[in-house]
A and B are shown apart, each in its own frame.
Chain A
């Protein structure tokens, strides 16, 4: 474990998020979708953000890009340090310059995420035209190169295709080509393979991993799939009700989870070689974000919850190996000495 342990102050940090809070001001009240999130990501690193629907993981990704629909959403506090700049304070034009060039994002459904009436090559080429100022034909040329880099067969022909003419996996490859065209420092992938067939999923994930490793692109992978996390990530942040409840390297997460929620997620995974029995599932539903309980948001579903959990929200506990979690009564299977 020690060789993976991150140095506390690393110059290769691409993105550092501090106390990010993104709230939605709706008629039913304030939805604290992201409520005090801290994490950082280094060059070439793959950080996973895991959580159920509504845990705030997608809003976190959109907040980084400053693409949260406003109204009703707004980043109410926090810092997003990226390229020596706090993106929370950045102007719209600054953000337009950063998006797609230094920080890109791909989304869950590649069919709806591509414009149905424009050719693939044009859509990929747009990034070159508006960020690098290339002519339309040069941009198309570069787009074909990018399509080739994402292993799309006969990229010349595919560049002339419309999105509906491509398979799901092919479309997501085109999205990846678009996102990585300007060699950004950070790629945010929001459930990139959820809409794809299982076999295609593995190929697309493998491709993303290879390209990001080759180009030393940091990857923020948002997913609900622990299997994807195990396969892809270096470190993982587990989100619940707008907060990161556990944050550690992937090995510790799977071997010695501290938070009962993480443990619950892991128990719901089928394991190869284990005896066939009913998979455990987490009881209950994620809380409504307009009416969060006073204490720990997970307490109503937590098998270990005590009175204190329902009254006081747990602070962040940091272990020496970089393992962080928010729990009054963590699982005791972490053998390393406490800091």
Chain B
């Protein structure tokens, strides 16, 4: 097991090199740079000043030199400073990451406590009205776009419950209860698509498990339906669900630009968006690299969890 983890961690290196290269190249192909944005109309006036500024920021060097300098610093734990505000990129990330982490936990909570039980129930009551209702509901939930639902939620809350405090983000350190209250709605909205997907996936895997011979054996042993379901059916059907949940953890931490925008949450998604607008490639590269590392690490953790869910997998 330890060898496997070490192996996987080593495997991260090429992945992260690839990601960092892609990030860097994509910043490079965006027309214009931070200096263009900063100087605006004054640009034509003092070409010499602009060149000086570019040189200060090392923007005049060739792309590969800039990349190597950057990656060299990253490897020493230095993600650089924002080209606009001068604040260290790592500080910005660490200030904003808890929002995303909390949001992910909140959404995961809804996904697990709503999605898995509903999917299991639908499978257990296959072809009854319960199953049909859940399935139709899941399709509706799946086709409703997140940004639309988020907008409607904000609209309804601000029109009818303006004092509820549901739309105000407060950092956890200031007021934990207000913090959770403020993340409830974004978490719920964010979870919807995945909930419906997990419902359908769980239904399929539970149905598959119910057809297995070992379930017949469990019944032949005289176990009650509750034990058959909780001990024999559900653990086996959770193996594929865990994979999808793992990927979702990465997605939820990484790219929530729309949800963050609509609910005005100070998360990493907005930071990425702002850095693109201002061509602040230091912030952009750093935050995308951070998201990529989180994504890859979460998948590693899921792979390790696999071994506990399914003993046939041994590394």
Contact = CB atoms under 8 A, between A and B. Distances in A.
Interface of A: 65, 67, 92-93, 95-101, 104-105, 107, 109, 112-118, 126-127, 130-131, 162, 164, 175, 178-179
Most buried by A among B212, B218, B220, B235: B220
A178 B221 contact: yes
B309 A105 contact: no
Contact of B311 (A107, A113, A162): A162
A131 B214 contact: no
B310 A113 contact: no
Given A162-B311, A164-B312, A116 B214 contact: yes
Interface in B65-118: none
A146 to B, nearest CB: 13
Interface residues of B, number: 22
A133 to B, nearest CB: 13
A191 B118 CA distance: 37
Given A107-B216, A109-B213, A112-B213, A117 B311 contact: yes
Nearest to A71: B127
A103 to B, nearest CB: 9
Contact of A127 (B214, B221, B225, B236): B221
Contacts of A175: 217
Given A107-B213, A109-B213, A162-B311, A115 B220 contact: no
Most buried by B among A98, A100, A164, A175: A100
Most buried by B among A65, A97, A98, A126: A126
Nearest to A127: B221
A112 B216 CA distance: 10
B235 to A, nearest CB: 6
Contact of A112 (B214, B218, B219, B310): B214
Most buried by A among B218, B222, B236, B312: B222
Contacts of A101: 222
B5 interface: no
B222 A117 contact: no
Q: Which 10 A-B pairs have CB atoms at the shortest separation, nearest pair first?
A: A100-B222, A99-B222, A100-B221, A112-B213, A115-B214, A113-B213, A105-B220, A162-B311, A113-B217, A96-B222
A130 B227 contact: yes
B57 interface: no
Given A107-B213, A116-B214, A99 B236 contact: no
A116 B217 CA distance: 12
A181 to B, nearest CB: 9
B222 A97 contact: yes
Most buried by A among B214, B216, B231, B236: B214
Given A130-B227, A162-B312, A164-B312, A114 B217 contact: yes
A96 B213 CA distance: 17
Given A95-B222, A118-B232, A164-B312, 19 more contacts: A67-B219, A96-B223, A99-B219, A100-B222, A100-B223, A101-B222, A104-B221, A105-B220, A112-B213, A113-B216, A115-B214, A115-B217, A116-B236, A117-B236, A126-B223, A126-B231, A127-B221, A127-B222, A178-B217
A176 B222 CA distance: 15
B46 interface: no
Contacts of A115: 214, 217-218, 232, 236
Contacts of B235: 117
A104 B220 CA distance: 6
A11 B1 CA distance: 60
